[in-house]
Structure 1
Amino acid sequence: MGIVQRQGLRNTIISYAGLGLGFVNTVLVLPKILEPQQIGLTGVLAAIATMLAQIAAFGFGNMGVRFFPYFRKPEAGHQGFLPFLLSVPLLGFALVAVLYLAGKPLVMSWYADEATDMVLLDQYYFWGLVLALFVLLINLWDAYLKGLYHTAFSSFTQEIVLRLLITGGALLFAAGYLDFHGYVLWYIGASSGVAVLLIAYTAFVGELHLRPASVASVRPLREMLSFGAFALLGNVSGVVISSIDSLMVSSKVDLDAAGIYGTAFFISTALVLPFRALYKIAFPLLADYWKSNDLPRMADFYQRTTRLNTMLGCYLALGIALNLDFIYAQMKPAYAAGSATVLILLAARLFDGITGVNGLIVVTSPRYRYDLIFNASLALATVLLNLLLIPHLGLTGAAVAAAIALVCINLARTWFVWYSFGLQPFDRRVPLILLLAAVAGGAAWLVPFVHSLLVTMLLRSTLLTVLYGGLLLATNAEPQVRETLQKLLRRSRSSR
């Protein structure tokens, strides 16, 4: 667990710093400066770019992490792995670009009911493709750095640098130095800057090996391409599950609703940042466990990460839910329509975190093909649920559809991992952590409104933190809490 602790600690610190910046962006900057329609447009462009990038990648992000351990040989430039990792996705992007541009009339017809939305989308349609290229490069380089166990810098650029650049662009827009067109170009340029930084960092650490080599001499080409094809279908399904709601809200309602939904979606995303920090290092580690067939260590890692995710997830979910009034008070009034959406998505994301790293275990296992069945089925269900619920429930319908998708896919994966490999994420401490969180959350919820939303937020958050932390220490529900506190106390004493 040494490398997990070191990289995980760095990623956690970076993720929490990114959480703070994300809060500033979502609550204090963008909704104060931009109208819901404008945020909706950038959200739609980001969703389009993400989907195009995943299709073009042909699953090579997952393939890179899965097979890199077989190529890891620094003195030989990792045997031509990086050029291979880039070549197929870039060819795929060229094909995707042709199809995307040719399909513009069809896409625009989805927004025919809203004339102003059509004008905006028509103006920025091509820029969605440009953004997709940068997203593709970021994803590929992130996968390569994962294989090298250089995850902290990648997290830093995506969680902090990117958000700082977006914040800077919004402030320039507010000050009148940029018009909205300039802001959109800045928004896209921020992703290009992150891609350049990742490439430069790879060169700095001496891992920018661009000399082609015969990768088939290391692993069969057919095996890697086959894995990539299955990962592609799985990734596209995952993107559909996570992004189709924004696209369908924008087309079935309007860009204003998409902006409100996107803001609510990001608020709920604050819950998963510590999960993502852990998963960045868990992915290559699980690949190594499968390579050595070390199931006992994998089982221990599975349960430890589940306990940690449960503890952090409950705290963050309660902290956000209890203070939604304060959060939305910092925005333009129109955004408060997304409060119910936040609560639904928080519950779904908490369940996603509690079920642990089941998805990564399946994807890195010899039975990775079964994950495609789960993802494809849930992607189809997500689209159908959105078609059914959004026209009747609007934003709430999209949130319910996303929640059902997350819960179902995690139930299916958890059962599959247990049935296939005898691994399950829960021990007796998990129900105890949930009980302690419910007690602390209930007590904080009973705090009445006091003077102002800020004072009420501080009182509720303080009570939640003190009571939840005290109960965790008293019961030792998560041993790492007590161990961490003891280490801090020892360091404090030794520094005196």
Structure 2
Amino acid sequence: MGIVQRQGLRNTIISYIGLALGFVSTALVLPNFLEPQQLGVTATLASVATLYAQIAAFGFASVGIRFFPYFRQPESGHQGFLPLLVGVPLLGFAVVTALYFVGEPLLLPWYGRDAPLLAPYYAWGAVLAFFTMLYSVQDAYLKALYHTAFSSFVQDILLRILIVGGAFLFGLGYLSFSGYVLWFVGVNSALALLLTGYVAAIGELHWRPTRQVLTVRPLREMLGMGAFTLLGSLSGSIILYIDTLMVGAQVSVAAAGIYVVASNISTALAIPARSLNKVAFPLLADYWKQQDLPRMADFYRRATRLNTLLGCFLFLGISLNLDFIYSLMRNARYAEGTVVVLLLLGSKLFDGITGVNGLMVVTSPRYRFDLIFNVSLAVLTIVLNGLLIPRLGMVGAAVAACVAQVSINVARTWFVWHSYRMQPFTWRIPLIVGIAAVAGVAAWLLPTLSSPLLTMLLRSTVLTVVYATLILATNSSPEATLFLAKIRARFPKK
């Protein structure tokens, strides 16, 4: 097994463990130790640092992956590529940091009466942004070297364990809240230092700059590529983090904390689609290379059907049992995010049902249109948040996310159909949605028991039995029927 296969297998395992650990820690563990206001502070810091770091890096993380093959030369330290890869973001960080501190009197007042909560940690936002940027650049360098498993492990598993550990220390009284914030910043920053140590351990820490690095590829070309990718990556981060920042600024930091927990609960629905995308990306790229559009269209339909099947089940499983999920949190205020969870679940369900249209665009010859879609989605999200949050509070942010996500997916689906005459819908899609509705109503009509746990178990059992029975009886998902046949084959009748 080659290094790419080994790293890919390890990344897959780490990704699944990380997704499960992330859901448990951010949706269930942290809310039991942190008040909404406190969780809102750390979420705001993380959101600011991520956007700050991406602007400072100027897209050079992607540049590292894109251009490293031209510089690859182990005997010469890759011709001074690492100092260039880190040097440009460091210059960008110096500029953005100056603006960050000069703009403090303008930025903090956005948070109104909650500004004093964030003010003591404003400078730490710059520290967190610096190490976030350093991590992203080194992570890109390791990807170019085909060493990705370690960085995935520290980001997806180790970081989450350490943050939960800090929350336990805070809950047991060993840390004040200020101490927990410093712990939060410290463990995030430590990841970059761990990567530096790992790069050194594998013998790839080549810090000596060379003039030769400027002759391999024109710097202007790399900066242009960086600017292009910056728009795409920044748009993606805005989509992920702007709602938290705007809820905190226009409602309260506590509302931002409640919103973050609700958002984390809804992410469980996206796990199947994310897992499928890991397989879909290289597969679609290969189909485009071979110009095998019939097989691509078939994969498009099957992927959409599978996402619909799993997405509908998870949507119902989470939404019907929200009372139980929130009952696990000691602070009842987090339950104020119930409507937010439902709206975000709907948004992610639609994203799954519309298939892998985004990946089809980005791997196609017309991949530049993906940037237009991402920028449009980011702008639409900001505009809708600005209009709806003042009127509806944090629910307005969820409505904005839902409307923006549905709109852009409709546009992407139309674009793929218009450009390549491929669309993912067959008669089985509405049939699966209809079956989900029947199963959901059957579970919802059950009486609420005195114990939230028993209610959850009863509803989940009925939902699973009704949903699975109807899916198999109607053969609405051949994949599910085939899966059941394989299981039966392992247990032959005697």
TM range (shorter): 0.7 to 0.9
Deviation at 1:322, TM superposition (A): 0.8
Moved more, 6-15 or 85-94: 6-15
* Paired position in structure 1 for 2:177: 180
- Superposition pairs of residues 113-124 of structure 1, within 5 angstroms: 113-114=112-113, 117-124=114-121
* Paired position in structure 2 for 1:108: 108
Pair 263,295 (structure 1): closer, same or farther in 2 beyond 3 Å? same
Deviation at 1:98, TM superposition (A): 1.8
* Paired position in structure 1 for 2:37: 37
What is the number of equivalent residue pairs in this alignment? 489
Q: Percent identity?
A: 65
**Contact 1:173–1:179 under 8 Å retained in 2:** yes
* Paired position in structure 1 for 2:366: 367
**Contact 1:433–1:472 under 8 Å retained in 2:** yes
* Paired position in structure 2 for 1:94: 94
Cα distance between partner residues in 2 of 1:71 and 1:354: 42
Cα distance between partner residues in 2 of 1:108 and 1:273: 35
- Superposition pairs of residues 66-77 of structure 1, within 5 angstroms: none
* Paired position in structure 1 for 2:350: 351
Cα distance between partner residues in 2 of 1:168 and 1:197: 18
**Contact 1:12–1:278 under 8 Å retained in 2:** no
* Paired position in structure 2 for 1:268: 266
**Contact 2:27–2:262 under 8 Å retained in 1:** no
The residue type paired with residue 99 of structure 2 is L
* Paired position in structure 2 for 1:21: 21
The residue type paired with residue 379 of structure 2 is L
TM-score (norm: length of structure 2): 0.85
The residue type paired with residue 275 of structure 1 is A
> Which digits, 9 at most, give the CA deviation of each residue in 1:284-338, with x for residues without a partner?
5655655666655554544443333323322222211111111111221111111
SS in 2 for 1:110: helix
The residue type paired with residue 158 of structure 1 is Q
Deviation at 1:163, TM superposition (A): 1.5
* Aligned CA-pair RMSD: 3.6
The residue type paired with residue 120 of structure 2 is Q
**Contact 1:63–1:224 under 8 Å retained in 2:** yes
> Which digits, 9 at most, give the CA deviation of each residue in 1:6-48, with x for residues without a partner?
9887666544433443343234432222111101101111110
Pair 41,230 (structure 1): closer, same or farther in 2 beyond 3 Å? same
**Contact 2:27–2:264 under 8 Å retained in 1:** no
Pair 476,212 (structure 1): closer, same or farther in 2 beyond 3 Å? farther
Deviation at 1:442, TM superposition (A): 2.6
Cα distance between partner residues in 2 of 1:191 and 1:481: 41
* Paired position in structure 2 for 1:169: 166
* Paired position in structure 2 for 1:190: 187
1:231 to 220, 229, 232: 229
Cα distance between partner residues in 1 of 2:462 and 2:213: 57
- Superposition pairs of residues 83-482 of structure 1, within 5 angstroms: 85-111=85-111, 113-114=112-113, 117-143=114-140, 153-199=150-196, 222-280=220-278, 282-283=280-281, 286=284, 295=293, 298-331=296-329, 332-482=331-481
The residue type paired with residue 183 of structure 2 is W
Pair 467,139 (structure 1): closer, same or farther in 2 beyond 3 Å? farther
Question: Gaps (5+ residues) in structure 2?
Answer: none
> Which digits, 9 at most, give the CA deviation of each residue in 1:37-84, with x for residues without a partner?
101101111110121122123234445556667878989988876665
Moved more, 407-416 or 23-32: 23-32
Deviation at 1:242, TM superposition (A): 2.4
Question: Gaps (5+ residues) in structure 1?
Answer: none
Deviation at 1:279, TM superposition (A): 3.4
